[in-house]
Amino acid sequence: MLCFLILNFLILGVFTVQDLLLLFICFEATMIPLVVLVLRCGPTVKRISAVKYIFVYTGFSGLLLLLGTLYLYKYTGTTNLLILSSTPLTQQVSVRCAVLFCLALALKIPLYPFHLWLPQAHVEAPTAGSVILAALLLKVGGYTFIKVPLVICT
């Protein structure tokens, strides 16, 4: 139950924060309760392999998301989404940030060529973990995929 409460709090944070760095922290931290559920309640011995896949793919996507955030901060001096939406960006900065954010979120959602971690996570997760993964975490990734690049690239 503690994992579900923490996950609920983090998802609420993803939907409500207006700062890109806090969004990154909440978004990345949502994987911690899922990993705990897979490790503690996974049905087979292959759950360790599934957790490795989750860490590698989501860790790399988190690194890309952080690089995009830091690059945007270096150029604009802020991570506030409200200020970023009214800050004019050069085409070069906008394209670089869009590529970094879209690639990171494509790994996190996961879109077709980047989906290798998802089947193992669903198989090795308990029923509750699989439902959380499909019903909440993937939708949070989709929401972030719409919110962040649209604010930055417009």
* The CA-based dihedral angle spanning residues 137, 139, 143, 146, taken in that order and rounded to the nearest 10 degrees: 120
In a domain, 11, yes or no: no
In a domain, 85, yes or no: yes
What is the DSSP secondary structure assignment for residue 133, as one 8-state letter?
I
Task: Please state the rounded mean pLDDT for residues 119-131.
Answer: 75
What is the DSSP secondary structure assignment for residue 137, as one 8-state letter?
I
pTM tops 0.75: yes
In a domain, 124, yes or no: yes
Could you give the number of structural domains in the chain? Answer: 1
| Token reading at 79 | 């991570």
In a domain, 5, yes or no: no
Q: Which domain holds residue 54?
A: 20-153
Position 118 scores a pLDDT of 75
Q: Write out pLDDT tens, residues 16-42.
A: 998 999 999 988 888 888 788 777 776
In a domain, 3, yes or no: no
- Cβ-based neighbours of 33, under 8 Å, separated by 6 or more: 3, 4, 6, 7, 10, 132
